[in-house]
Amino acid sequence: MRDSFSTLFYIRGSRLDKNGMSLIYLRVTVNGKRSEMSLQRKARPEKWDPKKGRVRGTVPSTLELNRFLDGTVSRVYQIQGEFISDGIPYTSDMVLNAFQGKGNGQKTLLSIYGDHNEELSELVGREFSSGAYQRHLRTAKHLQAFIKKEYGYSDIGVKKVDLKFINRFEHFLKTTLKDCGQNTVTKYVTNLKKIMRICYANGWISKDPFYHWKAKWKKVDREILNERELKAIMEKVLPSKRLDQVRDIFVFCCFTGLSYIDVQKLSGNHIVLAMDGKKWIKIKRTKTDTKSSVPLLQVAEQILDKYSVCNGTDNTGRLLPVVSNVKLNLYLKEIARLCNIEKRLTFHLSRHTFATTVTLANGVPIESVSKMLGHQSLKTTQIYAKVLDKKLMEDMELVRAKFKIGG
């Protein structure tokens, strides 16, 4: 026997807010049993058409609200269809629970992603960086826009995420985010992959939709500063205190290899005396939770001494006045311009420079560089060795030009 199924939108005209608006409710009826919920949208009673369950009028806000109600009906009937196709007996409560992504209903993608991000936010600074959290928020936002554009829904059941969905999402990112490179697109899709692996592990889906999907990474030449450019930045007399401080933080990381998040949290507890009687930085990397051990070279120690008079004035005990990453990169552009450096100067370039110009180019074994950078795998460090080969070839071209016969 086929279940009887119906939906209805209605308002309670006797319950008005201070602006004379009434909440819109959704009622789902299955085999004569009703379940209701507020849609958290409002309408004026005099504009409400109870027969059609829509708002009268053609102003943009009214049209948008009616489109939302149309989408809600489509989503509810989609949920009913999923129960039927999966052979699951359903009730009106189960349909509304599925619509809200909770209870005994079908699990929905964005509700699961929202729970993941909420848990992630509680671990920022301990197990995850703020950057990782923000990237997952952006992925969820892009998924929401994709689902709305592709399916016309505000959310979608996780069982509907298949290889076609994944490939369409990847295409959506490439065509919608104009300044988004291949590696950024792949990162967003691998973030979705993590969520689907959670669904698979919890038994919410019967198979991994990413089984036949392969990540496409584009090889990128890592930019570095050569010795001449690094010295130009170190020796330049800058016109303002803010630029001077940013230059100091940048140079400090060129000689320590610390990432932004790690230099930001650097405190006196991270400076230790080693067996050789010299100061070392020993810090656990926020990104990978691995230990990084770096000898405090003279250049870096002088920068710490320069700011020692103000250490701890913000009650954090941090050793350097690190501003936001956005401001750092903005001010570094000014510094590059003042130093006549045409390369795109970003703060993370300091870490690349430490790995190549400061260490590998001066004979430091790659295994030691890997330990100082806190890499989990030597393969990660070997990327810098390839960059170094390119740099050495460029340097030798200068030598060839200098000693060219008949030039």
Q: Which H, E and C letters describe 110-122, residue by residue?
A: HHHHHHHHHHHHC
| Range 209-217 contact pairs with CB under 8 angstroms and sequence separation of 24 or more | 209/161, 209/162, 209/163, 209/165, 209/166, 210/163, 210/166, 212/163, 213/163, 213/166, 213/167, 213/189, 215/186, 215/189, 215/190, 216/182, 216/186, 217/182, 217/183, 217/186
Query: Does residue 354 share a domain with residue 297?
Result: yes
- 233 and 195 in a single domain? The answer is no
**Residue 397, pLDDT above cutoff 80:** no
394 and 294, same domain (yes or no): yes
Average pLDDT over the chain reads 86
What pLDDT score was predicted for residue 336? 93
Supply φ then ψ for residue 38, to 5 degrees: -80, 140
Do both 46 and 142 map to the same domain? no
Q: Is residue 50 domain-shared with residue 115, that is, in the same domain?
A: no
Which amino acid is residue 70, in one-letter code? Answer: D
Predicted local confidence at residue 359, as pLDDT: 87
**Domain presence at residue 407:** no
Task: Return the pLDDT at 265.
Answer: 87
pLDDT of amino acid 313: 45
127 is a domain residue: yes
Identify the band that residue 394 occupies on the pLDDT scale cut at 50, 70 and 90. Answer: low
Q: How confident is the model at residue 153 (pLDDT cuts 50, 70, 90)?
A: confident
Share of the chain above pLDDT 90, in %: 44
Final residue of a structural domain among 56, 72, 100: 100
**Of 100, 133, 158, the domain-final residue:** 100
Q: How confident is the model at residue 40 (pLDDT cuts 50, 70, 90)?
A: confident
- Choose from 8-12, 373-377, 386-390 the range with maximum mean pLDDT: 8-12
Shared domain for 255 and 382, answered yes or no, is yes
The answer to whether residue 376 scores a pLDDT higher than 80 is no
Same domain? For 123 and 183 the reply is yes
> pLDDT higher for 339 or 377?
339
pLDDT at 17 over 80: yes
- Check pLDDT > 90 for residue 182: no
Cα–Cα distance measured from residue 113 to residue 56, given in angstroms and rounded to the nearest whole number: 36
| Whole-angstrom Cα Rg for the chain | 29
Q: What is the pLDDT of residue 312?
A: 46
How does pLDDT run across 69-80, given as a tens digit for each residue?
999 999 999 988
Is pLDDT of 87 > 60?
Answer: no
Q: How far apart are alpha carbons 382 and 395 in whole angstroms?
A: 20
Residue 83 lies in a domain: yes
Is residue 315 scored above 70 in pLDDT? no
Residues 159-181 pLDDT 10s:
889 999 999 999 999 999 877 78
Query: What's the sign of the alpha-carbon dihedral 37, 42, 46, 50?
Result: negative
Which range of residues forms the domain containing residue 239?
Answer: 227-402
Instruction: Tell me the mean pLDDT in the region 279-292.
Output: 82
Q: Kindly state whether residues 188 and 87 are assigned to the same domain.
A: no
Q: How many CB atoms lie within 10 A of CB 320?
A: 20
Q: pLDDT tens digits, residue range 193-230?
A: 999 999 999 988 889 999 999 988 877 667 888 889 99
Most confident of 50-59, 179-188, 281-290, 371-380: 50-59
The CATH number for 256's domain is 1.10.443.10
Mean pLDDT of 326-344: 92
389 pLDDT above the threshold of 90: no
- 73 in any annotated domain: yes
Examine residue 216 and state whether it is found in any structural domain, yes or no. no
Q: What number is the average pLDDT over the span 108-118?
A: 90
Average pLDDT over residues 253-267: 89
Spatial distance between the Cα atoms of 242 and 263, rounded to a whole number of angstroms: 17
In the prediction, which pLDDT does 386 show? 65
What is the rounded average pLDDT of the residues 232-244? 93
Higher pLDDT, 87 or 397: 397
Q: Over 90: is that where the pLDDT of 401 sits?
A: no
pLDDT at 188 over 50: yes
Q: Looking at the structure, do residues 129 and 33 belong to the same domain, yes or no?
A: no
- Whether residue 314 is contained in a domain is answered as yes
User: Does any domain span residue 164?
Assistant: yes
Closest listed residue to residue 286, CA positions, set 264, 314, 303: 264
